[in-house]
Amino acid sequence: MTTALLECEGVSKAFGAVQALYRVDFEVRAGEVMALVGDNGAGKSTLVKCVAGIYPFDEGRVRFDGAPVTVHNPREAARLGIEVVYQDLALADNLDVTANMFLGRESVRQGFVLDESSMEHAARETLQGLSVTTLGSVRQTVAGLSGGQRQAVAVAKSVMWNSRLLILDEPTAALGVAQTRQVLDLVRRLAERGLGVVIVSHNLHDVFEVADRITVLRLGQRVAMLEASDTTQQEVVHAITAGTLDHVPGMVDQGVAET
Amino acid sequence: MTIDPRTDPEVDAGPVVGVDEALPPALPTGLDATPETLGGYMQRWWQGVRAGELGSLPIIVGLILIAIVFGTLDDTFYVERNFTNLLLQIAATATIAIGVVFVLLIGEIDLSVAYVSAVGGVSMTLLLRPDGPNWPWWAALGVGLLVTTAIGLVQALVITKAGVPSFVVTLAGLLIWNGVVLILTTQYSTSGTVRIQDDTIVGIANDFLSDAWGWVVAAVGVGAYALTQLQTARSRRARGLDAKPLSVIVLQVAGLAVVTGAAVWYANRDRGVPSVTLIVLILFVFWSFVASRTRFGRHVYAVGGNAEAARRAGINVDRVRIAVFMIAGFMAGLGGIILASRLRSVATNAGGGDLLLNVIAAAVIGGTSLFGGRGRVVSALLGALVIGSIANGMGLLNLATGTKFVITGLVLLAAVLVDSLSTRRRAARGMM
């Protein structure tokens, strides 16, 4: 098996008295889709945000590409090639697809004049590379796109910048059946291109459709790490709702002492 | 896969449409056949209009209507002298409205622009007084602009750093700067009017280009437009992107040449093209370039469209906001100086009356959305032209002030209605 692209070892994060993550191990390999599942409050978002550099981990080690790293802010994460597509997608409705894909990183000539034709060209290449074919034109405003197309644009925007690890937060939550299909296909293609993909989802059907492995969080701890091919939805549901905890919440000290 | 109604070529026709030629023809994206012909271009434009992408069409129709109505009602509306008068009348409104367009683009409002413009005019005028500081014209003008830009900066700092809504901050500004204008004008003259005696400053809004220069300016303008259009088309073709067909460019350039030529010819039959019209056109070209062709302009639209997305994309949203309010202050100052020059004086009522209403109405009538992110610099000019020609026509008809207000208000309402109806149409067609 390939070595891990991202490796979190025993990472913890507390917000005051709330232990959001407790000694979680989490890894993603290049070219695989890792699903991150768990009930509300299980710590999925916290883990994602820590990896993306929005919060620091309290303890634990993170390795990217085998080298130990500490990510202090989203900019540093982006420099490593870690990109997150949040649920709200962060697209400007009034701008066209190209402008959104290049937002904040516009190509310019003479330091300030937009190089529209090169941006439009690159945007089209990227979308075609991802086989996003439902998009009519890269000069169309995002306001006119369907949910699935928006998701595709947000994903394309993230992978455009040589990203190596893409984290998708609930990418299919607001989508219909056909559009979910498109997005899941896109996720698969990203993994085939060698990216590590993390998909955070509540929808186990989607997870089984697209993921290679599944990490289950429960109350801030990792309760299971399963190969999607040799587990069942039932098993995952069981882990989400009743997975064995290494330590009992609210009894932090004891838990630490035991392990 | 789902087929959006929008991917239907019948419907999807924005003003600028890029096309995926490399898509396999079997896919029903419908956009792989770019109409690089005049007919195809016109067809696409008309489809866009039907789908609610009206662009400047309603305002041009409106202007024609205004011209017909006032032309029939009053014989003097079509007199050459009235045309140059109109150009002089709208210069200050258009200038201030350009700044307002930027503020509206980021989804904010600036209610102080009218009195800020007066502060600019008054501070320049006071510095010019022969019995006072007696500064050279350029220094006084520079300080006037500096003062109004600084006012924009201060108001923007309160808005961004303290998080107070721009509506409230600039409403306070409206009162404050009105007060400042009153204090300054009454302090330096008993009558409340300070005259400008500098010829250069008075000349800004009272001089005219010679006939020959009028033609030169028109030729340079049309030539530059043609060049940039050709340049854009060439660079897009070089990248394998679809481009405006040559026939369309030729027609557009010819159209511009005819309109410009007619305007210059008509103005030259009177006193010539006002110098201030040239100034306004230069400002228009400059700020249009900033808004549509620069990174800063792109960020302005992004902040107005989705400030959170802009922030996450690494754009310094506060800095964009501050810069925009400074632009509004600068343009207000320039407008105030033009106004002072035209009146050859400043008085206690400077910046008052319907100036604020007119500049905001001009931007909105021109098609700039009050909710941010949508609009173009040209809307300031077109809107000012509409407001100006109505005011001009009603002035010729000697209508009562009350009637004028009612009519101007109705026109503003009509413009906003057209905008919201076309927005609804776009939404119904899946364009929004």
Check if the beta carbon of residue A83 is closer than 8 Å to that of residue A158.
Answer: yes
In single-letter form, the type of residue at position B149 comes to: T
Render pLDDT for B53-72 as a digit per residue (tens, 0 to 9).
Answer: 777 788 888 889 988 999 89
Chain A positions touching B313 (Cβ under 8 A) are 90, 103-105
d(CA A195, CA A164): 5
ipTM higher than 0.90? Answer: no
Share of chain A above pLDDT 70, in %: 95
Local confidence band at A174 (pLDDT 50, 70, 90 cut-offs) = confident
Q: Identify the top-confidence range among A177-186, B34-43, B193-202.
A: B193-202
Mutate to test the interface with A, among B1, B2, B289 (most CBs of A within 10 A): B2
Across the strands, what pairs with A37?
A216
Q: B3: which chain A residues are within 8 Å (Cβ-Cβ)?
A: 134
Rg (CA), chain B: 23
Beta strands in B126-256 (DSSP E): 193-195
- Nearest-Å Rg of the Cα atoms of chain A is 19
Q: Is the separation of the CB atoms in B235 and A117 below 8 Å?
A: yes
Pick B27's closest partner by Cβ from A103, A133, A179: A133
pLDDT of residue A2: 57
Q: Residue A249: what pLDDT? A: 59
Min Cα distance B204 → chain A (Å) is: 31
pLDDT confidence tier of residue B146, bands split at 50, 70 and 90: very high
Q: Which of B117, B148, B77 is nearest to B388 (CA)?
A: B77
pLDDT-derived band at B3 (thresholds 50, 70, 90) equals very low
Whole-angstrom distance, CA of residue A201 vs CA of residue A44: 9
The string of pLDDT tens digits covering residues A186-226 is: 899 899 988 999 999 888 999 999 999 999 999 889 998 99
What is the reported pTM?
0.86
Q: Touching check for B75 and chain A: CB below 8 Å? A: no
Residue ranges covered by each domain of chain B: 57-207+274-425, 208-273
Asked whether the predicted pLDDT for residue A166 surpasses 80, the reply is yes
Nearest CA in chain A to B431: A144
pLDDT at A250: 57
Question: CATH 3.40.50.300 residue ranges in chain A?
Answer: 1-81+190-259
pLDDT tens track for B9-25: 333 333 333 333 333 33
- pLDDT (average), residues B337-347: 95
Q: Which one of A24-28, A87-91, A232-236, B148-152 scores highest in mean pLDDT?
A: B148-152
Residue B72 CB contacts under 8 Å (≥ 6 apart), including other chains: none
Residues A90 and A154: beta-carbon distance below 8 Å: yes
Query: Average pLDDT of chain A?
Result: 87
Question: Taking 80 as the threshold, does the pLDDT of residue B183 lie above it?
Answer: yes
**Listed residue (B2, B10, B313) closest to A149, CA to CA:** B2
B279 CA: distance to closest CA in chain A (Å): 23
Please tell me the predicted confidence (pLDDT) of residue B10: 35
Specify the residue for token string 């009602």.
B73
DSSP chain A: -PPEEEEEEEEEEEETTEEEEEEEEEEEETT-EEEEEESTTSSHHHHHHHHTTSS--SEEEEEETTEE----SHHHHHHHTEEEE-TTTT--TTSBHHHHHTTTS--EETTTEE-HHHHHHHHHHHHHHTT--S---TTSBGGG--HHHHHHHHHHHHHTT--SEEEEESTTTT--HHHHHHHHHHHHHHHHTT-EEEEE-S-HHHHHHH-SEEEEEETTEEEEEEEGGG--HHHHHHHHHHPPPSS-TT-HHHHHHH-
Query: Which A positions 121-180 lie with beta carbon below 8 A of chain B?
Result: 121, 124, 128, 133-141, 143-146, 148-149, 176, 178-179
Query: What mean pLDDT comes out for the span B163-183?
Result: 96
Q: What are the tokens at B112?
A: 């102080």
| Cα distance between residue B155 and residue B168, in whole Å | 10
Buried (b) or exposed (e) across B83-118, using 16+ Cβ within 10 A?
Answer: bbbbbbbbbbbbbbbbbbbbbbbbbbbbbbbbbbbb
Q: What does the mean pLDDT of chain B come to?
A: 87
A 10 A CB-CB count for A196 gives: 26
- Minimal CA separation from A1 to chain B, in Å: 34
Q: What is the pLDDT of residue A158?
A: 86
Q: At A171, is the pLDDT very low, low, confident or very high (cuts 50, 70, 90)?
A: confident
Of A54-68, B151-165, B168-182, the one with minimum mean pLDDT is A54-68
Measure the CA–CA gap between B22 and B221, rounded to whole angstroms: 37
Rounded to the nearest 5 degrees, what angle is found at the Cα of B144, between the Cα atoms of B95 and B179?
Answer: 90
Here the tokens at position A58 are 């309290």
Averaged pLDDT for residues A155-174: 86
Please determine, for residue A180, whether its predicted confidence score (pLDDT) is greater than 90.
Answer: no
Which of the four pLDDT bands, split at 50, 70 and 90, describes residue A79? confident
For residue B35, name the pLDDT band (cuts at 50, 70, 90): low
- CA distances (Å), A205 to each of A26, A29, A152, A180, in order? 22, 22, 20, 11
Greater pLDDT, B306 or B19: B306
CB atoms A104 and B301 under 8 Å: no
Query: In whole angstroms, what is the distance from residue B154 CA to residue A169 CA?
Result: 40
Six-digit token string for B25: 């023809």
Count of other CB atoms within 10 angstroms of residue B167: 13
- A90 to chain B: nearest residue by CA? B309
Smallest CA-to-CA distance from A137 within B254, B123, B48 is with B48
Task: Please determine, for residue B1, whether its predicted confidence score (pLDDT) is greater than 60.
Answer: no
- What the block records as the tokens of B231 is 């340049």
Looking at residue B96, its pLDDT comes to 97
B57-207+274-425 has CATH 1.10.3470 classification: yes
The answer to whether the CB atoms of A106 and B312 lie below 8 A apart is no
State the DSSP code for B347.
E
Q: What is the pLDDT of residues B198-239, one digit of tens each?
A: 999 999 999 999 999 999 999 999 999 999 999 988 888 888
- The SS3 of residue B35 is coil
Query: What pLDDT shows up at residue B295?
Result: 95
| Cβ contact, residue pair B31, A136, below 8 Å | yes
Q: Does any CB of chain B come closer than 8 Å to the CB of residue A107? A: no
Q: In the numeric block, which tokens belong to residue B427?
A: 């939404």
Region B79-89 average pLDDT: 91
DSSP 8-state secondary structure symbol assigned to residue B33: S
- Alpha-carbon separation of residue A41 from A225, B50, B355 (angstroms): 18, 49, 56
Which architecture, in CATH terms, is A1-81+190-259?
A: 3-Layer(aba) Sandwich (3.40)
Where on the phi/psi map is residue A220: left (φ > 0), alpha (ψ -120 to 50), or beta? Answer: left
Residue bearing the bigger pLDDT, B426 or B88: B88
* pLDDT over threshold 80, residue B40: no
Tell me, what DSSP letter sits at residue B274? B
pLDDT tens digits, residue range B115-129? 999 999 999 999 999
Inspect the interface and report whether the beta carbons of B235 and A141 lie closer than 8 Å. no
| Other Cβ atoms closer than 10 A to B68 | 10
Contact B306 A135 (CB under 8 A): no
The pLDDT, as a whole number, for residue B336 is 97
